[in-house]
């Protein structure tokens, strides 16, 4: 009886080991391409969570990030910068607000300048909502590069892609100009096809 229990335990252990090994096998290496970008369809609603690292001439920081996009609103939750506390950035059209979580809400009608002032580093907030999805910003000209494009003085490189809802979406992105380097790693995408009513 004891030997049967040991045998069952060993078998279960082997099965768990095999399942774990299978789940850690990396998927195919997906690279960024103009063709995959041209096939992208940006939905009305999407969400991602991941990690963001930004370095500038005088300031650098990293944070966990959650970004929710719905029609007319970008909501970005950062955990880590700004004195190691959470901050929520909300962008509605040309209006931006930052909630530091301490009852102090600040706002401006100059989104990127305001965010730069708050974070200590220039973040191209308006463009980043397109770049994070793998697309150039629709209102600016851009030039193709091997692994991305350049736009508005920034070089955007897609270092790793992932398949989400049948689309090739970014996993690792590097955006840089002469003053700032921004690295974004997206660990999870949630895509919704729900249309705004």
Whether 95 is in a domain gets the answer yes
Whether 197 is in a domain gets the answer no
Domain that holds residue 70: 34-192
81: confidence class by pLDDT, cuts 50, 70, 90: low
CATH number at residue 147: 2.50.20.10
Whether 16 is in a domain gets the answer no
Question: Are the beta carbons of 155 and 161 closer than 8 angstroms?
Answer: no
Residue with tokens 């996993």: 171
pTM summary value: 0.79
Phi, psi at 103, each rounded to 5°: 80, 5
Count: domains in the chain: 1
CB atoms under 10 Å from CB of 168, counted, come to 20
Residue with tokens 């955990």: 79
> What are the Cα distances from residue 86, in Å, to 53, 116, 123, 183, 190?
15, 17, 17, 19, 22
Q: Tell whether the model's pLDDT for residue 69 goes beyond 80.
A: yes
- Beta strand pairing status for 86-92 and 73-79? antiparallel
**Pick the residue with more confidence: 48 or 165?**
48
Whether 150 is in a domain gets the answer yes
Whether 20 is in a domain gets the answer no
Whether 12 is in a domain gets the answer no
pLDDT at site 85: 64
pLDDT in tens, 7-19: 344 333 433 333 3
pLDDT in tens, 105-131: 899 998 888 888 877 778 888 899 999
- Compute the distance between CA of residue 130 and CA of residue 12 in angstroms, rounded to an integer: 47
């Amino acid at each position: 009886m004891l030997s049967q229990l040991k045998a069952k335990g060993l078998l279960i252990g082997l099965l768990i080991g095999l399942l774990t090994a299978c789940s850690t096998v990396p998927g195919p290496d997906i690279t960024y391409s103009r063709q995959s970008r041209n096939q992208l369809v940006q939905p009305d609603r999407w969400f991602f969570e991941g990690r963001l690292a930004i370095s500038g001439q005088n300031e650098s920081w990293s944070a966990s990030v959650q970004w929710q996009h719905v029609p007319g609103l970008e909501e970005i939750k950062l955990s880590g910068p700004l004195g190691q506390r959470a901050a929520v950035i909300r962008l509605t059209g040309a209006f931006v607000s930052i909630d530091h979580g301490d009852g102090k809400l600040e706002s401006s009608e100059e989104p990127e300048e305001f965010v730069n002032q708050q974070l200590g580093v220039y973040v191209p907030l308006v463009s980043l909502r397109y770049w994070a999805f793998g697309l150039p910003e629709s209102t600016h000209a851009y030039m193709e590069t091997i692994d991305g494009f350049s736009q508005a003085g920034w070089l955007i490189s897609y270092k790793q892609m992932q398949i989400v809802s049948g689309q090739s979406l970014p996993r690792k992105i590097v955006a840089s100009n002469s003053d700032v380097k921004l690295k974004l790693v997206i660990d999870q995408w949630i895509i919704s096809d729900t249309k705004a009513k």
